Each structure stands twice: as structure tokens, then as C-alpha cells.
Amino acid sequence: MKKIFFVSILMVSGFINAQNFQGMAVYESKTSTSDMTSNFRGNREITPEMQKQIEERMKAMFEKTFVLTFDKNASTYVEEEKIEAAGQQGGFRMMSSMMGGGGTHYKNVKEKIFSVDKEFAGKEFLVQDSLPKLDWKLSGETKQIGNYMCFKATAVRPVSQSDFRNFRRKKEDEKKEEVKQEETKTEEKKQDRNTNFMDQWEVPKEIVVTAWYTPDIPINQGPENYWGLPGLILEVSDGKTVILCSKIVINPKEKKEIKAPKKGKLVTQSEYDKIVAEKMEEWREMGRQGGGNFRMGR
């Protein structure tokens, strides 16, 4: 078995060292929406049928398929297009906008840079910055993913305030809440119409990331901005999101051009995060005041 394993690595390494090497990997991304859908439970205005529809639409919105096209130095990570479900309008389109929209996520591990085109609240941005360097802790733990033996690695990374996938409900002291519940019931009813949905959420400062990479494909690449391991990353557990590789093709017949996106207002990651944070605060204020149109200012 060791000889076969060693030979397979040599074969893949031979392909990678070829001048026109290219690979393709398909990833399935799923984000838990239990926090989000639980907010609607107990609302007398939402019937069980409406609750079911909300949960199904939220689940579909947070289940995505991406294609990573890579060579020795660079890659593009692009979401596969889906036909928008009928009736997915209003708040769901708004939430999709808050998720940053689709686009091309390009990274160059040789130059250690990335760029991604994003759409947020009706405006297009081109985020360009240095690749984040994670302090990976390698483990001897292994597991099989498809035909590939994978090794475990973990890291702690800061959470971007523009990454809404990691939104979570604010935690409160349950005992204090129970004591206050009866005292504030009447007041809550009076203020119910002015309750701002976004005030109930927060983004953690950092999360633990677990990645599984395969030395069988000795490429310093992975989904999204993940890189820096001695093999292609096939699985990532990132907060409430799990990204799993479902298909790999080495040297596909049809090669694709790997190039960085060019469209959108050029900003750094921190500048984009600031834009999103300011817009979120604007939305909070509009929510407290009970109305307003969600549009990006000039």
C-alpha cells in the first residue's frame, strides 16, 4: 500500500510540474441557519406553513456549489449559477445582498494576494488585499475524503465583520431574562412594532477553523481564502459553515483562464468591512425609526 501511495503522489507531482498543469475541484458549502430561522418561531403572525417555507428558502440560500480552478500558483473560486426560485423576493433578496452576492474569488499563493468582486446593497466592489496568513496547527489525525487520504489542521482566525454567515443571536443571562419577562411584557407589546431585527445579532471576534488537506495533491490551495497547507484543502469547518469537496479533476480537457476580476470600486478588505459596518449601523437606525429605503449612499 505504501508503494502504491508513493507512486500516486509521484504521478500527481509529475502532472503539477508540467507547464500547462491545471486542476478543478467542486465544493459544496452549507451554512447552518438554525439561529436565523428560530427568530420567526413563536411569532403569532407566522403560520406553521409560512415557517416551513422560510426555513426551506433560507436553507436553499445558504447551500451553494463552488468550482475551484487552480494551477501551481493561482486559483479562482466561483459559485455555480442557480435559477432563482419563484417567490424568492423581498426580504430574501435583501438578505442575499447582505451576504455579499456572488463573484470571482481569485488568489495567488506565489504573490500572496487575493481579489474578489462583491455586490453589497446595490453597489459593486473589488476587494484586493494580502492573503491572510493562518497559524496552522498540523495534526496526525487522518480521514478519507473520496479517494484521498486527508490530514487535519486547525487555526484560529479573526472574523470579518462583513461575513454575515457567522452572525449569531446575542446571548443573555437566562435567569435575569426570566425575572424581567413578566415585568416587561406590557412594555414589550407597546414597543414590538419598533423592535429592530438587526439589534438581536452579533458577529464573533474570532473562530476556530478545522481543515482537511491531502498531500496526494501537493498544491497550496483551497476554497475561498484558505491556503498555506502542504496539500489541497478538501474540507473546511468555518464557524457555522462547512465546505466539502465533492469532485476533483486533474488536467481537465478544457482548460479555463485563471485571472483576477477587474470590475468594481477598488477597496482593501478593511475598507470594505468599514463600508459594510457603517451601512449596517445606518440600517439599524432606520429600523429603530420604523422605516426607510435600503440604498447605498453616494
Residue 203 pLDDT greater than 50, yes or no? yes
**pLDDT averaged over every residue in the chain:** 77
223 is written with which cell numbers?
A: 476554497
Residue of higher predicted confidence among 229 and 296: 229
The residues near 234 (Cβ < 8 Å, ≥ 6 apart) are 25, 145, 146, 148, 150, 212, 213, 214, 244, 245, 248
pLDDT bucket at 291, cuts 50 / 70 / 90: low
- How would residue 282 be classed by pLDDT, with cut points 50, 70 and 90? confident
Beta strands in 113-205 (DSSP E): 113-120, 123-130, 137-145, 148-158, 168-169, 201-202
- For residue 25, which of 224, 272, 204, 261 has the smallest C-alpha distance? 224
Enumerate the β-bridge partners of residue 236: 211, 243
Question: Which is higher by pLDDT, 61 or 190?
Answer: 61
Residue 51 is predicted with a pLDDT of 65
More confident residue, 229 or 189: 229
Q: What would the pLDDT profile of 70-125 be if each residue is shown by its tens digit?
A: 999 999 999 887 544 444 444 444 455 455 456 899 999 999 999 999 888 788 99
Q: What is the pTM of this model?
A: 0.76
Instruction: Please answer whether residues 198 and 177 qualify as being in contact, where contact means their C-beta atoms are separated by less than 8 angstroms.
Output: no
E-only strand ranges, 32-136: 63-70, 74-79, 104-108, 113-120, 123-130
208-227 residue pLDDT tens: 999 999 999 999 999 999 99
